[in-house]
Amino acid sequence: MQTYHYVLASQRFLLEEEPIHEVIKERTRHYHEQEKQIDFWLVEQPAFLETPQFAELKAKCPQPAVAIISTNAQFITWLKLRLEYVITGEFQAPSEAIPDALASLATVS
């Protein structure tokens, strides 16, 4: 089982009000230069929020929500400091409640 760390915010805040695409682009470039494997993912309407253990968290976050999920705790801490108005946390997956850490409920159009 793997520990996943996340920052969670409303889709409007994270994708429209913050320059998150620039942050992800820069971080991806840095990883490629360091020959490091990507260990973070942007997930719209993350499925883990539907589990009973996250019901209270889901109620706190304006919907639809977006999460940046990573196996790198330091990266998530850095994002929290940079973005400020986000919720952070962690979970274990795969598990019975969360079979896929990166699952999304968003429909593809």
Condensed to tens digits (0 to 9), the pLDDT of residues 54-66 reads 999 999 999 999 9
Across the range 82-105, mean pLDDT stands at: 95
Residues 6 or more apart whose CB falls under 8 angstroms from that of 20 comprise 14, 42, 68, 83
- DSSP H helices, 53-94, are 55-60, 73-83
Residue 11 contacts residue 92 (beta carbons within 8 Å) = no
The whole model's pTM is what? 0.93
* Domain ranges within the chain, ordered by starting residue: 2-93
Amino acid at 99: P
Q: In the CATH hierarchy, which top-level class contains the domain 2-93?
A: alpha beta
